Structure formats: structure tokens, C-alpha cells
Amino acid sequence: MIGAVSDLTDTSIGRYVDGVLSGDRTVLAQTITLLESSNLDHRRRAELVLQELLPETGAARRVGITGVPGVGKSTFIDQLGINLTAAGHRVAVLAVDPSSSRSGGSILGDKTRMSRLAVDPDAFIRPSPAGRTLGGVTRSTRETILVCEAAGFDVVLVETVGVGQSETVVADMVDFFLVLMLAGAGDDLQGIKKGVLELADMVAVNKADGDNVTRAGLAAADYRSALHLMSPASPTWDPPVLTCSALDNSGLDELWEQVEVHRRKMDATGELDARRADQQVRWMWSMLEERLRDDLRALPGVTARLADLERSVRGGELPATLAVDELWDRYVSERSSG
């Protein structure tokens, strides 16, 4: 269900916290909107809300899902989500969509993409905000995961709808990264970057139904061979390769059992806690770098020279190192005088 968002202005911190913890979907949607806001006052209030909610976070299965265009992610997530809610889980679906900052739209905004899950009382669908940088989308999605956990959602599915860097940032905010693949589309191994396979905790060849069952099995064998040539990220987990059909609802139970097996193994070795801790530290540095970059670009003395220096570096007239030295000196000087 996609909750409507009302005015944030007069809502107290306590009401946000109490509303989220009680599972109030309207307040949950308002809280996420507060997190997504670029308004400085909203951001400060959001940080206070997060601080209060933090003790109630961390229990959910955080699963990232990516796949090549046409792989059927929407149908897959819709069916998987329905299976999970039927089994007693509460499921939140979030999206990281860097393309929204270019198009001005948010792909998950259309409820018809996941028509059954969108009206399931035990599910919550939230698109990434439109018109944002990937860094901003990443920040708000990470925080939204925590808020959804505090609201009682024990499964959080994070879909990467865009391309390129979005796979990396999603893999760095979840416990388990699932890569969906297709069969019968020519050279299957050309359909996905090696770097994405290296991120995978599991590969699932979707649309293994009808006349495509044999091709899906052959594609799965190809991916197993490819994964055997790579060093696994964990000494206790070799990424499995499965076939499934979201259309027929086949193979999805086996797929989710692998997610649970992974969770149990990572819990037993302490790798889950270590992975999340490392993610938090990398997130801290990412936010600090983003804030420094924004601060640098906001200073008149820096922005006045930035375009000229970029042209000089692009034209080969000035080494990048010297351009950096000048920009940094201007930044330090202007910050000191201010």
C-alpha cells in the first residue's frame, strides 16, 4: 500500500516516533517524507526521530534485488511479496531509482507494477523520491529501511530500478543481494556486468516456464560456471544459482529458503553484524564526502573559478592536481575568513 502524505509542519517528534512504532501507516509515510526532505529543519527533526527509533531497528531481512531490463522484477517482487505475507511476514518494498533524477518521475509510483502487493495490508511500497541525486536517494533509502523496521516490517526488499552505480549502492545497504537473470536472450553472460555477478549472494534465472524451462536450466549452468571462477565474498557462502518462474510461482519458496539459510549462516559466524557495521562506516564516509562537496560548491570563490578550471583540465591546459590545489586553497581561505 502506498500511503498518502499530509502536512508535516506541526507534527511533533514524539508523534512521529509513536506513530511509527504503533504501525500507523499515515505517520510512517509522513516520517519517510520527512527523511526525504532537503529542508534543513526537516532534516534535523528526521535525525531526532531516527535516533529515537534506532533501538527498534535491525531485525528485518534486508534483501536487494536487481536484474537486466525485461527480467520481470515487478512480477517477481509482487509474487514473492504475496508469498511472504501469506506466510505471516510484513513486507516493505523500496526502490533506488537514479533515473528519476533525470526524468523527474518515480518508476514505482505506478501501483499497477505490483498490483496485488500494493493493496496487501501487510505490505508497504515506497518509491524513491524524484529529482534527487543518487547520493540523496541512497541516504533516504537507507533511513527508510530503518523506519520500516521500526514499524514492524520484518522483510525489506530494496529494488534497484536504474542502471550502473545503483547496483553497488543497493548491495551496500542490504544483507543479501539477489540478481535476477533471463535465459534465451542470446549470449546470457553478456547480459550482465561481471561486477554485478561479484556482488551477488544468489543468481536466479527467472521466467523458467513453458518452452523456456530447458533454456533456463542451461543458463543457470552457465552462471554456476561463471561464479565458480570468482572468489566468494564470504568463506561460508557460495552463491547458489536457481531457476524460478514468478508467473507460475515456482521456485520462489526454494529461493526464499536460501535467503533464510544465508541469514542463519551469517548470524552464526558473526558476519551479518560485521557486514552491517562496515556498511554503516562506509555510509558515514559517503555522507561526509557528499556534505564536503556540497559545501565546497556553495562558496562563491570556488564556484567563480570552477567552470574555468574544468575547461582548462578538459582541454589539457592544466593538470588536474593543480586545479585541485587551487580549488582547495580557495575553499580553505573562504571558510577561514567566513
Domain ranges in the chain are 1-56, 58-268, 281-337
Pick the CATH number of 281-337 from 3.40.50, 1.20.1250, 1.10.287, 1.10.8: 1.10.287
Report how far residue 160's alpha carbon sits from residue 237's, in angstroms, rounded to the nearest whole number.
Answer: 23
Question: pLDDT of 144-156, one tens digit each?
Answer: 999 999 999 999 9
In this structure, the strands spanning 176-181 and 155-160 are unpaired
Which of 306, 296, 308, 278 lies closest to 333, judged by CA? Answer: 296
Query: Where on the phi/psi map is residue 289: left (φ > 0), alpha (ψ -120 to 50), or beta?
Result: alpha
End-to-end CA distance of the chain: 48
Report how far residue 326's alpha carbon sits from residue 309's, in angstroms, rounded to the nearest whole number.
Answer: 9
- Beta bridge partners, 64, equal 158, 177
Burial (0-12, 13-18, 19+ Cβ within 10 Å), 198? middle
pLDDT at 290: 83
Cα–Cα distances in angstroms (integers) from residue 119 to residues 45, 288, 329, in the given order: 30, 38, 55
Instruction: Report pTM.
Output: 0.85
| Total number of residues shown for the chain | 338
1-56, which class in CATH? mainly alpha
Report how far residue 93's alpha carbon sits from residue 141's, in angstroms, rounded to the nearest whole number.
Answer: 11
In this structure, the strands spanning 202-205 and 155-160 are unpaired
Which of 137, 131, 125 lies closest to 169, judged by CA? Answer: 137
Query: Where on the phi/psi map is residue 88: left (φ > 0), alpha (ψ -120 to 50), or beta?
Result: left
Q: What is the pLDDT along the chain (338 residues), one digit of tens a residue?
A: 444 334 444 458 999 999 999 999 999 999 999 988 888 888 889 999 999 999 999 999 999 999 877 889 999 999 999 999 999 999 999 987 655 444 444 444 445 578 899 999 999 999 876 555 565 566 788 999 999 999 999 999 999 876 566 788 889 999 999 999 988 654 445 445 567 888 899 999 999 999 999 999 999 998 898 888 888 888 899 999 999 999 999 999 999 999 999 999 999 999 999 999 999 999 889 889 888 988 999 999 899 999 999 999 999 999 999 999 999 999 999 998 86
CATH of domain 58-268: 3.40.50.300
- 241 and 219 Cβ atoms separated by less than 8 Å: no
Amino acid sitting at position 304: A
For residue 291 the three cell numbers come to 556534505
